[in-house]
Each structure stands twice: as C-alpha cells, then as structure tokens.
Structure 1
Amino acid sequence: MKACLFILLLFPGLSLNAQLPRQTGRMEDAGVRVFYQKTGGKPVWLTTGGRQNFDLFAAYLREAARLGLNKEDYGPALTTALADSSYKIPTAADSLHIDSVITATVIRFFSDVAYGHLVKLPVKYNGLPALQNTGIDIAAKLADNLLSGQFSYFLPSVEPSDTAYMAVKNCIAALYPIVMDTAFKEVPVTSLKADSSNAPLLLRLRQIGISDSLPGAGKVSLSARIRQAQRLFNMLDDGVLREPFLKALNVPLTYRLLELNNALNQLRWLHQYKKEAPVVLVNIPSTGLVFYQEGKPVLYSRVITGKKSTPTPTLGSDITEVVLFPYWTVPNRIAVRELLPQIKKDRQYLVDNQFEILDKKGHIVPPSTIDWNSLGGNNFPYVIRQNTGCDNSLGIVKLNFYSPFGVYLHDTPGKALFMLQQRFFSHGCVRVEEAVQLAHLLLDKEAAAMIALEAKGSQPDQRPVIFRVPVTTYVFILYNTAWTDATGQVRFYEDVYRENN
C-alpha cells in the first residue's frame, strides 16, 4: 500500500481505485516475495536490461482485449505513463517501489491468462479442490523466465494448449477489430427477404465474419452465407430467414465478445483441472459432452439437459460409481406432480411402466392396498421406484457423483430426442447418448467388458451392479452460450435459462 501512496504523489491526477492496480491479496503479496527472492531483490523492469521486457508487457496490456481480458483491471495508467517515458523516476528507492507494483501487476495479468479472470466460480457447487498457489506459481515461473532471457515466450508458455481455447481466442481476435473499427455500427436486420436488397443483412453477415467470397473459390451465394450463419447460431441451416434467426443476428457484437470472453476464461480455469485428472465436461446451452483424457478429447456425445422449469445446475464434482441396470428412484416432486395423477387415472400405469411402491422403510407395498385418491402433495408417504432394464428411464447405465442437487449422468431409452437441435427435456439430470461408451472409458478393462456383455443380454429383472471408478475423474457441468461444437467450431447458443440477463 505504501507503494500505491507513493505513486499517487508522483501522479496526482491518478485515482487509487480507478487507475492503479487493485490492492494485492495475500497470495499476490506472496508471489511478489517469491519473485524478488529469485531475482535478488533488485528492480528488473525499468533497468537498461529489463526495459524491453517491460515494453513487451505494456504491449500485451494494450491488447488485453484480444486475450479476453480487460486492461482496466491492471492499472493501465501507470504502465502507459512509464511505457511512453512521460515520467522519469527520481531515485533508486522510488524505482524499487514502482518495480514492485509492476511486478504485482504482471503476476496478476499472467495468472489471469493461465487460470482465468473469473469474478466468481462458474459453478454453483464445486466439490473439487480449489486451484492453489496460482500467483506464487506464476511468480516463480516469471522470475525464471526473465533470468533466462525468455520473456518473449512467456505468454504462450502459460496459455492453455487446448483446441477449444484456441478456437475461442481466434474468434475474439477476429471479432474485436471489427467492433473497434471507427466505422462500425449496429444496424438491425428487420426484413425476412433473403436477397441482395436486404442491405442490413449483407452488412451483418460481413460483420460476423461471413464473407461473400473465398480465396480461390470466387463468389459465395447469399443462401450459402445464410446457412453458414445459421450454423454459427446452432439453427436449422436451410437458408430461410425466420424471426429467431434475426433475433440471434441482432444480438450486439459487444455482447458476443462478452460471451466469448467468459468462455475463454472458463476454459483457462478448466484447463488446470484437465491437467490433474480425466474430465467429463457438459455444457448446458450446447447440450454436448466431451470426455478428456490427458487433456485431449477422446469422446463426444450429445446430451439432453433440463427444461427451463427444471434447469440442470452447474457444478464440479468427481465421478465415483458406474451403476449397471440402475433403479430409478423417482424424486418426490416428480412422483407427486406427474406420476400420481397418472396413477389415479389408470392403475395399470404402474405395471405398464414397471414401477413398484416402497414404504419409507424400503419395503415393497402392493399398489392394490393403497387408497390412491386420498394421496396428494402433502400426503404421500411412499417412494416410487422403476425396475431395471432397457425401458427404465435411466437406461442401463448411471454415473454417480456427489452434489447437493441430486442430479447425475445417465443413459436413456428415449434415443430419438438426441436428433433434435434443441435438447432441453429433463428434470435436471443429464441424459447421455453415448453413456455406455463413456462408462467403458471410465472403468478398467474387466468392468468395461462385463458392462458390454451384460448390456447385450439385459432383462427387465436385472439387479443393479455397482462399479467403482478406479481413477479420479472430474465432472463439470458449465453454462456457456459461446462454446465449441463437436467439430471444434465456435458456436453461439440460445441463453435458454436466461443466465446472462
């Protein structure tokens, strides 16, 4: 804090809160100490030998937006004043004060590049260990890098080596200069005419990077460009203009950049966990799942996530069990609100859907002995359980992990729904199209072979078989409206749960 007060005297026009780097936390203070322990406690940034490193950092800061970061978070006034030599440091003591502030800023900047600049965790529940010693780790690497004269390679060395990360970063790099161009303006597309008379449409297609020509291919038809834009927004790519497509087109590009920035920083955060263990990643708006081993994607699957009324929660946990032939113990709210009215209408409903009734002690109760008409939301002393088998609502495989929401990943007999573009139908759990294949990858060879064998000959009366997952495997359920698809292309998805409002 003394250094900040000192610099305010040097720059009387600067505001401590608005212009200077935010006050460092204990982790950042520890990082600064580690840095100077390694470098010998001397100024390193504004010396004759260190000036080029400082100038490179100042250049990084000016272009922070291309990295999904906001330069205002790093006190740009001080860096700018020092970079353009508009201020001369009076004494060696002053130089050390300023050097330490620069160091804290540099550590924070590269920590955000490596681990993500997150105002809050991207999950409502995180049962996994928090990332530790991020500032200290970056500080030690930074010092070593400077001492070896390799600072120009430092930024790419701490960025994630991840194809999804690079795709999102490249999308930001392409969109940012368009938005910052002095000639840029938002012109709403209001006409449904898919022809050359629709000037706002043609302008918007160019603004989102969809050109009317390709190198070596000549002109691209307007219909083809519209279909490309429809794919960008995860819509039916038939070249026909409809209101939902116009709505997606008219989302301000500054907002699209915010979506991309959010995705990029979550990918940074996620990358650190992918270095520790295999990761099952679900992104809700894109209704897709990716399984990573050693940081590389090895399986993609379409999924079905929660309806707007029963949204899937975001979370981080670790998968502990694979259950073959699971029972479905119907949550009380579903039993009372959805099943009970069906049972009252038709007692055969229980038999047709292989449901059995348990009392609170877990004993099976014959349905004929129950006065169903007397039951309701405030009076339902039973548990409804669906027997195992291919027609079970959980399919033949369930993947368990702890969360306070009572959700899990599972198979489903309703495979046809995976063919739909919009897949928000569940009560909050995640239905996985490739659930059996995912189970194979999570288990050892013997367990995987047993699942494959048993699944082929599954019968309605099969009993549940529980397999422990032998290797720590993280599961993340995230919510990003800008995300990559199965082909690695960035797409913008509908904000189904209105999380970004």
Structure 2
Amino acid sequence: MPYRLYFAAIACLLMFRLPGASAQSGLYAATAFPRLNTPPAAISWINEEGSPLLDTLYRYLLQADSLGLPPEDYNVSYVQTLCDGRQQLPDQNDTAFANQELTCIATQYFHDVAYGRPGLSPVDFNGLHYTPEPPLPVSAQLADAVAEGRFGQFMTRMEPGNSLYRALKKSLQHYRDMITDTLRAPLAARIHAIQAAMDQVRWASRYLAGQPVIIVNLPSADLQFYRNDSLLLYTRVIPGKPATPTHTLCSTITSAELYPYWSVPHRIAVKELLPEQRRNPRFLENNQFQVLDARDRIVNPRHIAWQQLGPGHFPYRLRQSTGCDNAMGIIKFSFNSPYDIYLHDTPSKTLFMFERRFYSHGCIRVEEAMALARILLADKPEVAKSLLSNECLKHQAPETIMLNQPVYIMVLYNTAWPDAFGKVHFYQDIYNLQHFNI
C-alpha cells in the first residue's frame, strides 16, 4: 500500500484533514471516529468520470443541521472544497486518499443519522446489554447502496422513521426557523434539548422499530407504550423527587403482581419509618406494616426496643401488608435493575393532577396502572377480565403473573419530549442533568 493510502487509513480512524491541506501536509481536523475500529473499504467517490456520488454525499451532509447533528463533526467544509474543485488532487494516490477519507466521513455520518453519535449511552443501567448497532455494519450497507445504484435513497433508509423522531425533527425545524439575533440565545437552549432527545431516540431506534416498548421520560413525567410505532397507552407518572431521583435504565418487564406487599427499602425504613415509630409506638401497626426478622419471621413491633435501633443497627425488614392503602396500590410491574424500583399503582391519585409531580423515593407510580396491566396481560383472558374494574378488593393475597412475552422498558431523561399528539414540550431539568436553561 502506498504510504499516503496507509496514512489515509490511519487518518480515517483518528481525524480528518483540514480543508485545503494536501495529502502530504499532515494537517487534520480533530474529529474522532471511535466506532470505526477498522477503516472501511474505500468507495470511489471521485474518479475519471467525475464525482456525481460526491455531489450527492455533500447534499446529504448539508442536512446535518436539520437532523440535529453538528456539521463540524463530519468535516463538511472539506467535502465542499472537493466538490467545487478548490481541493486539488494531482495524482491517483491523492484521489485514493480522498476517497478513503470520504468513505470514513460517510460511514460515520450515516451511522450517527441512524443510531446516534458514538459513545452515547443515555441510561445509568443497561439491563438489556443493548447497543444500537445494526445487524449489517453501516459501511457494508453504504457500499451495497453505492454498488446497486441506491445511494440517492440511502438517507430515507437510514434515518429513523418512528413517530417520536419525526415529532422532534419537526420541532427542531420550527425553532431553527424562528432564530433571529435577539432570540438566538434562548432558542439555542431549546434546540440543544431537542438535539439531545433526537440522539436518545436514535439510540433506542432498534427497539422502536417493531417490538413492544414502554418509554418513561422523567422530566415530562409520562409513560408511552408503543407497538409497531402505534401508541397503545399514554399516561402520567410520578417519578422520584430530586433528593431520591429515579435512575435511567433499560430492562425487561417480566411479571406483574396483583395486590403486592411493599417491601420497604432499608434506607427508607431507617431514615423515615423508624423515626415515626419512635414518636408513635403504634405507627407501624396503624399503617399495616409488618416487621420481619433475619429469618423472615413476623415479629410483634411492641416487643422491639425501637429507641435502641438506628441506621447502624436495624436487624429487621419492614413490609406493608396488601390492601387498598398499600403504597404499591393494586398492582406492580417488575423488571431487573440494581435500584430496587418498579412501575406500580398508587392509592394517592390526586398527586397526578400536579404538573410538577416528583414525589416518589425512586419508583415510578403509574396513573393508569390497570390500563397498562390490561395491555400487558391481554393474552391471559381470565386475568385481563379480572382487571376490567379499577376497584380495590379487600383481603386479597399477592398473586404473581408472568408475562408470556416480556416487554422492553426504557427510562430516559429528556427535557424536550413529544406528548401523545406529537407536540414537543419543554420541561424543567428536575435532576439538573442537562443544563440547557430552557
């Protein structure tokens, strides 16, 4: 391999040449492409017959802004110099060098269009070990499209088509059209929030393509349940308060439990319930809490010296009995995570009326929990029939129901997010994670 082609392959992995630099100059724009572990086979963007493919690529790159992607990440100015002839290619090695660089640019660009920018993982816990990587690498899809004369339709194939993405893209264009000198700063914050949300939707795009998936967005405090891009349920939720925030995650809902116990997390037991019991020796009994020892035997709370217990010494587990006043409500939905949290019903329905409704200890309370249950358990007719009423029945024992088909859940954090009608709203950065000041 001529040294300049070898250098081009290395440059493809590390950085791009600055506009106007020669192949020999070694001047490159610092734009890293960490997903390109090996340089893709070069496509002939420029050859003796001209550069019609390059012109199409340049037109695609000019759409970066409208797609919520930063044009500077793809060295658009360098591509422009090749299109208009300002970047000279004196010999075949220079042409081969340019073709290798252009292939790297195109590969990374279409990867980001379809699956989000490299290194993005918007969740604290990825229980699915999910990555948005396609079954066929983008470089191979790109090469096939060029070879088969389909490059003119390649953007349509790669860009996400789900309703969340379309709503965000439309909103992005709306705010870009509104920009003036006086509105530039406040609108820029909203544009950044939309761009961040578009990247998260791209990241989730493979699971939005067909499988049933529940998406909880924390700042908007809502839940959307999709199947084949059809919205099955939209409902309000109550996430964690700022002191006990709900973690972002992706996981799988595997079961529902009717009339569940509430097993009180240790931190809540010692920080909140223990002080209440010290002040009022009948607090636990009055609120239907059971005390269990290390062997899960129920202990009479009147036989415990509560004043001698504390965070460093609390050898008990607290559990709230099933019933209409149970903090879990009538039903909870379980999924794997290290945070001991659930989606669940609640007896405190009035809190859903508040626009700013962040009151939980980290679990996610669902306003229409029974409607969600009827969808998840629709293939269990007898169970679904028993869920037609939202009324709480007394003296019910817990009943765990396994889902025949587990359902993906993604808990995300976006301060710009579409509602059930596709209108994008902007929300307070309640956990102070995005700093967009919208």
- Counterparts of 2:159 and 2:48, CA distance in 1: 28
Distance 1:370 1:469 in 2: 40
| Corresponding letter in the other structure for 2:282 | Q
How many residues align structurally? 422
Q: 2:218 aligned with 1:284, yes or no?
A: yes
1:198-209 aligned within 5 A? none
Please state how far the C-alpha of 1:464 moved relative to its aligned partner. Answer: 1.2
TM-score (norm 1): 0.78
* 1:343 alignment counterpart: 277
Answer yes or no: is 1:165 the counterpart of 2:165.
yes
Give the Å deviation of 1:138.
Answer: 2.1
Alpha-carbon offset, residue 87 of structure 1? 2.1
> What stretches of structure 1 of length at least 5 have no aligned partner?
37-42, 187-206, 208-250
The CA distance in 2 between the partners of 1:380 and 1:287, in whole Å, is 34
User: What does residue 82 of structure 1 align with?
Assistant: 82
Percent of aligned positions that are identical: 39
Structure 2 counterparts to residues 283-322 of structure 1, below 5 A: 283-322=217-256
Moved more, 128-137 or 69-78: 128-137
Q: Name the CA distance, whole Å, in 2 between partners of 1:493 and 1:132.
A: 26
Q: Which amino acid aligns with 2:8?
A: A
1:62 is displaced (CA, Å) by 2.9
Letter in 2 for 1:3: A
1:498 aligns to 2:432 (yes or no): yes
Aligned partner (choices 374, 382, 395) of residue 440 of structure 1: 374
- Cα gap change, 1:177 to 1:338, in 2 (>3 Å): same
> What amino acid is the match of 1:69?
L
SS at match of 2:234: strand
Distance 1:26 1:153, change over 3 A: closer
Kindly indicate whether the alpha-carbon contact (under 8 Å) linking 2:215 and 2:223 is maintained by their aligned counterparts in 1: yes
Q: Match for 2:182 among 182, 185, 200?
A: 185
Give the residue type in structure 1 aligned to 2:22: L
- Aligned-pair RMSD on alpha carbons? 2.4
Q: Tell me how far apart the structure 2 counterparts of residues 14 and 169 of structure 1 sit (CA, whole Å).
A: 37
1:498 partner letter: N
Does the aligned pair in 2 maintain the 1:28–1:107 contact within 8 Å? no
**Structure 1 residue aligned with 2:152:** 152
Matched AA of 1:292 = Y
2:425 aligned partner, one-letter code: R
Report the equivalent of 1:257.
191
Q: Is the 8 A contact 1:323 1:464 kept in 2?
A: yes
Q: 2: CA distance between counterparts of 1:135 and 1:48?
A: 34
* Conservation of the 8 A alpha-carbon contact between 2:276 and 2:283: yes
Q: Cα distance, 1:316 vs. partner?
A: 0.8
What is the CA–CA distance in structure 1 between the aligned matches of 2:34 and 2:327, rounded to whole Å? 51
CA distance in structure 1 between the partners assigned to 2:297 and 2:402 by the alignment: 27
Distance in 2, Cα, partners of 1:5 & 1:307: 48
Q: Does 1:103 align with 2:112?
A: no
- AA matched with 1:116: G
Give the aligned partner of residue 203 of structure 1. Answer: none
Structure 2 residue corresponding to 1:458, chosen from 385, 388, 393: 393
Go from structure 1 to structure 2 and tell me whether the alpha carbon gap of 1:23 and 1:417 turns closer, same or farther (over 3 Å shift): closer
Question: Following superposition of structure 1 onto structure 2, how do residues 41-440 of structure 1 map, counting pairs within 5 Å?
Answer: 43-47=43-47, 51-117=51-117, 119-131=119-131, 133-134=133-134, 136-179=136-179, 184-186=181-183, 252-275=186-209, 277-440=211-374
Paired letter, 1:185: T
Conservation of the 8 A alpha-carbon contact between 1:111 and 1:134: no
- Cα deviations across residues 284-341 of structure 1 (Å, max 9, x unaligned)? 0000000111232211110001101011111111111111111001111111121122
Is 1:3 the equivalent of 2:8? yes
State which drifts further: 377-386 or 74-83: 74-83
- How far is 1:425 from its partner? 0.4
- Structure with the larger helix share: 1
SS at match of 1:426: coil
The structural deviation recorded for 1:421 is 0.8
Indicate conservation of the 8 Å contact 2:291/2:301, yes or no: yes
| Deviation of 1:5 (Å) | 7.5
What is the CA-CA distance between 1:409 and the residue it aligns to?
A: 0.6
What letter corresponds to residue 171 of structure 1 in structure 2?
Answer: S
Deviation at 1:96, TM superposition (A): 2.3
CA distance 1:108–1:386, shift in 2 (3 Å): same
Deviation at 1:456, TM superposition (A): 4.7
Look up the match of 1:215. none
Provide the C-alpha distance between the structure 2 equivalents of 1:88 and 1:271, rounded to a whole number of angstroms.
40
Q: Judging changes above 3 Å, is the alpha-carbon distance between structure 1 residues 370 and 448 closer, same or farther for their aligned structure 2 residues?
A: same
CA contact (8 A) 1:324 1:451 kept: no
Once the two structures are superposed, what CA deviation does each residue of 1:97-135 show, in whole Å capped at 9, x if it has no partner?
A: 321221121011011110012543000111113336549
- Please give the alpha-carbon distance, in whole angstroms, between the structure 2 residues aligned to 1:354 and 1:297: 38
Paired residue type of 1:449: A
Structure 2 CA distance, aligned partners of 1:260 and 1:118?
A: 18
